[in-house]
Amino acid sequence: MAHDTKEREAALDVILVDPDRLFREALSNVLTNSEFNVVCMAASLDELGERKALEPKPGRHRLVIVDFDESDGENVRHFSELLKGWPDVKFIVIAREVTTSKLRLALELGVHACLTKDISFESFQKYVRLVMSGESVFPVGLAKTLVADLAPSPNRPSPEDVLSNLTPRERAILECLTEGASNKMIARKLGVSDATVKVNIKTLLRKINVSNRTQAATWAVQQGIGNRGVAQERDGPAMSKPEGTLSPTGSVPTAT
């Protein structure tokens, strides 16, 4: 009965996916003793895909904490399908080491955070709350490497030129994206239809040369629009739009 009461009170249902059984069970025990409700554990995304009745329950928030092998094409495909199938679910990648390739792929897929396993549980809780509130959390150290990929080239217009070609509505939409707003929220704020917002976002993504709204939000913060991103700083504070550089292709501002 006490367990049932705790489950009803828990605001967040969690799925754990990690090949390390000891890590899964240890994290599950820690989470169960806090405000989280662990509803499923799996060793891999393949195993998770075989589970039935895992659809998010109405009225409850869902979080998936996962480590995945970015070199395994089938594994990545399963991850992509899961992200697309659960658009309202938040996804956090947690790994012993977040490599540039893993971070880049996670961002392309639309993951909401990448964390390392050596952070404290206090920091982990803080980052989870930030993610659930619409923020993104990524490692500090990889920003400069990723930023280099977006360095202006003779064939790529500068951010200033791109900004100057945006319409007032497109700039307003960019700011909304940095706040994690949905299409409906943007439409309501701007007084237009959802369909209009979809068309505007599609045009906007093409203009700023990114693939999805997460990347667009990051690019916007990099240009000083909005205030969305936060960075994991090795158990230090999560910083919102700190000094220093921002990372490209869907990552977020980071501190040096």
pLDDT score of 255: 29
Residue 208: alpha-carbon gap to chain centroid: 20
Q: What is the pLDDT of residues 172-206, one digit of tens each?
A: 998 888 887 888 889 899 988 888 888 889 889 88
What H or E segment, with its residue span, contains residue 198?
helix 194-208
| Domain edges within the chain | 2-145, 153-229
pTM of the model: 0.60
Supply the pLDDT for residue 145.
54
pLDDT in tens, 201-227: 988 988 888 888 877 887 887 787 865
Q: Which pLDDT does position 215 carry in this prediction? A: 79
Task: Mention every residue, 6+ apart, whose C-beta is less than 8 A from residue 213.
Answer: 177, 201, 205
Which stretches of the chain score pLDDT less than 50? 1-9, 53, 228-256
Give the tokens for residue 191. 């007084």
Q: Which fold has domain 153-229?
A: Arc Repressor Mutant, subunit A (1.10.10)
- Strands 239-240 and 230-232, by their bridges, are antiparallel
pLDDT of residue 140: 63
What pLDDT, on a 0 to 100 scale, did the predictor assign at position 248?
A: 33
Three-class SS state of 49: helix
CA gap 233, 87 in Å, rounded = 27
Give me the CATH code for the 2-145 domain, please.
Answer: 3.40.50.2300
| 12, β-bridge pairs | 36, 61
